């Protein structure tokens, strides 16, 4: 079974290509609560859902049109011919603090990491092998990134800002020191980047933001409009797409044919999730689409653990994914704490290299979700 390289260097095209708006979008909810009704007419940019947790960004209509369906998984909107959008919001005059945080949240930005800190780290690594969004934004959209960085600086008030980039990268941002890290996965994960830069696993007074987060904040500064688009890598090209655009349409536009038995993954080869349907829409956190041809890899199954220890050897946190996943498999979620589940980076190396092809990462994520739900119920 062939395994691709874990290098985070990926070639990319000359420009980001725009995929035409679809006739219909299916916008993922991912825990957000709908704030509109079926058959309601909306302008592009209208708020359609919010999250019960205060830091998660609101979700907005990526097209003007009529709501044709609302399910626990998504909101579907049929486009009209007007393509009208909401009025821009000028955030330049809002004082840094809670009011500005709420404004960004209301425009679609996740704000949990925008807290005051002495050190600000910008993660300039592509998140997974085969993804090139971060590199292209750093090369072609530095002005927008720096507008986002200026606003983030106002919120965080750091005494130093550091841009972490791969090995020999020449990327830079004004006012930031540049810190080079080896270009192999999982060095792109936030906690790993923080460890390299600071020398500590969980240092205090450190905030870390990603290149796309800076870019989308910069776009809001420039346009005053909410987040309704994302940028994803397919092969060696990056595409700008409306949130909720069906995966089927994106692949057709990119000239990729999906055959029966192929697996389509949103994200990358280590942390991505297989789509349940080609009509599934992409969310604002999507950064890539990967098509895995049939029979390229053995399918993941719920086969028993072989105790081979391969996942333990590959785990960058030096925990025991094999034991944790078996505890989760049988509903013994609280026992996973003893084996260090809180240290798991969710890098996906355990599942990727599992000899038995078990869904190790998925079991770990299940345990984390169950533990979080138990904690919320105690409050």
pLDDT digits (tens, 9 = 90+) for 363-377: 999 999 999 988 877
Q: Give phi and psi for 172, each to the nearest 5.
A: -155, 160
Of 170, 188, 221, the last residue of a domain is 221
In a domain, 360, yes or no: yes
Quick check: is 328 in a domain? yes
* Mean pLDDT within 96-119: 95
Phi/psi of residue 150, each to 5°?
-60, -40
Is the pLDDT confidence value at 346 over 60? yes
241-290 tens-digit pLDDT:
999 999 999 999 999 999 999 999 999 999 999 999 999 999 999 999 99
Tell whether omega for the bond before 186 is within 30 degrees of 0, i.e. cis.
Answer: yes
117's tokens: 């800190």
185: left (phi over 0), alpha (psi -120 to 50) or beta: beta
Residue 288 within a domain: no
- Is the pLDDT at 1 greater than 50? The verdict is no
Q: Region 205-209: what's the mean pLDDT?
A: 97
pLDDT, position 377: 77
Examine the pLDDT at 74 and tell me if it is beyond 60. Answer: yes
What is the model's pLDDT at position 185? Answer: 94
Residue 71 lies inside a defined structural domain of this protein: no
Task: Please count the CA atoms within 13 angstroms of the CA of 38 that sit on its side-chain side.
Answer: 5
Which pLDDT value is given to residue 203? 94
> DSSP assignment of 251-284, as one string?
HHHTT-PPPTT-EEEES-TTT-EE-S-TTPBP-T
pLDDT at 197 over 90: yes
User: Beta strands 33-34 and 273-274: pairing type?
Assistant: unpaired
Mean pLDDT, residues 85-94 taken together: 91
Provide DSSP, 215-243: HHHHHHHHH-----EEEEEETTEEEEEET
Residue 2 predicted with pLDDT over 80: no
Per-residue pLDDT at 379: 64
Which two tokens mark 23?
Answer: 């006739």
Does residue 300 register a pLDDT over 90?
A: no
The pLDDT confidence band at residue 5, using thresholds 50, 70 and 90, is: low
pLDDT per residue over 162-181, tens digit each? 999 998 899 999 999 999 99
- Check residue 254 and give left, alpha or beta (phi > 0: left; psi -120 to 50: alpha): alpha
Mean of the per-residue pLDDT values of the chain: 93
Please state, in angstroms and rounded to a whole number, the distance separating the CA atoms of residues 162 and 130. Answer: 25
Res 3 pLDDT > 60: no
Number of domains, the chain: 2
CATH of the domain at 160: 3.40.50.11540
**Res. 53 pLDDT band, cuts 50 70 90:** confident
- 10 Å CB burial of residue 174 (0-12, 13-18, 19+) is exposed
Evaluate whether residue 157 is within a structural domain: yes
Closest-CA residue to 266 (of 299, 230, 305): 230
Q: Which of 221, 248, 266 is the last residue of a domain?
A: 221
* Residue 186: inside a domain: yes
pLDDT of residue 152 exceeding 70: yes
Determine the structural domain holding residue 133 and report its residue range.
98-221
Assess if residue 63 is contained within a domain: no
Q: What does the alpha-carbon distance between residue 36 and residue 41 come to, in Å, rounded to a whole number? A: 9
Q: Is residue 86 part of a domain?
A: no
| pTM assigned to the model | 0.93
Query: What is the C-alpha to C-alpha distance for residues 242 and 257, in angstroms, rounded to an integer?
Result: 21
* Tokens (6 digits) for 101: 């945080």
Least confident of 84-88, 130-134, 194-198: 84-88
Same domain for 315 and 215: no
Residue at which a domain ends, from 203, 221, 239: 221
- Helix or strand (DSSP H, E) at 213: helix 211-223
Is a pLDDT exceeding 70 seen at residue 90?
Answer: yes
């Amino acid at each position: 079974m062939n395994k691709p390289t874990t290098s985070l260097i990926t070639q990319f095209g000359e420009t980001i290509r725009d995929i035409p708006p679809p006739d219909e979008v299916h916008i993922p909810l991912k825990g957000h609560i709908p704030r509109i009704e079926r058959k309601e007419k909306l302008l592009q940019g209208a708020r359609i859902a919010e999250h019960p947790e205060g830091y998660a960004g609101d979700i907005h209509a990526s097209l003007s049109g009529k709501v044709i369906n609302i399910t626990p998984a998504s909101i579907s909107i049929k486009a009209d011919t007007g393509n009208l959008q909401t009025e821009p919001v000028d955030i330049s005059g809002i004082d840094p603090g809670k009011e500005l945080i709420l404004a960004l949240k209301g425009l679609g930005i996740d704000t949990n990491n925008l807290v005051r800190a002495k050190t600000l780290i910008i993660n300039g690594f592509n998140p997974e092998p085969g993804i090139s969004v971060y590199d292209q934004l750093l090369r072609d959209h530095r002005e927008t990134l720096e507008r986002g960085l200026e606003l983030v600086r106002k919120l965080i008030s750091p005494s130093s800002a550091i841009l972490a980039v791969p090995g020999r990268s020449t990327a830079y941002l004004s006012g930031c020191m540049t810190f080079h890290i080896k270009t192999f996965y999982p060095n792109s994960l936030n906690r790993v980047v923080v460890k390299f830069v600071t020398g500590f696993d969980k240092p205090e007074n450190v905030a870390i933001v990603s290149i796309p987060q800076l870019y989308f904040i910069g776009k809001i500064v420039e346009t005053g409009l909410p987040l309704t688009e994302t940028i994803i890598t397919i092969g060696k090209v990056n595409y700008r797409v409306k949130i909720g655009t069906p995966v089927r349409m994106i692949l057709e536009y990119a000239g990729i044919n999906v055959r029966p038995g192929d697996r389509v993954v949103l994200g990358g080869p280590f942390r991505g999730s297989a789509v349940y349907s080609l009509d599934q829409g992409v969310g604002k956190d999507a950064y890539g689409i990967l098509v895995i041809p049939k029979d390229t890899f053995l399918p993941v199954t719920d086969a028993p653990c072989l105790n081979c220890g391969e996942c333990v050897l590959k785990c960058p946190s030096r925990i025991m994914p094999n034991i944790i996943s078996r505890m989760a498999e049988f509903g013994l979620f609280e026992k996973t704490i003893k084996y260090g589940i809180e240290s798991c980076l969710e890098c996906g190396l355990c599942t990727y290299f599992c000899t038995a092809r078990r869904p190790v990462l998925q079991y770990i994520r299940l345990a984390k979700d169950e533990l979080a739900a138990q904690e919320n119920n105690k409050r």
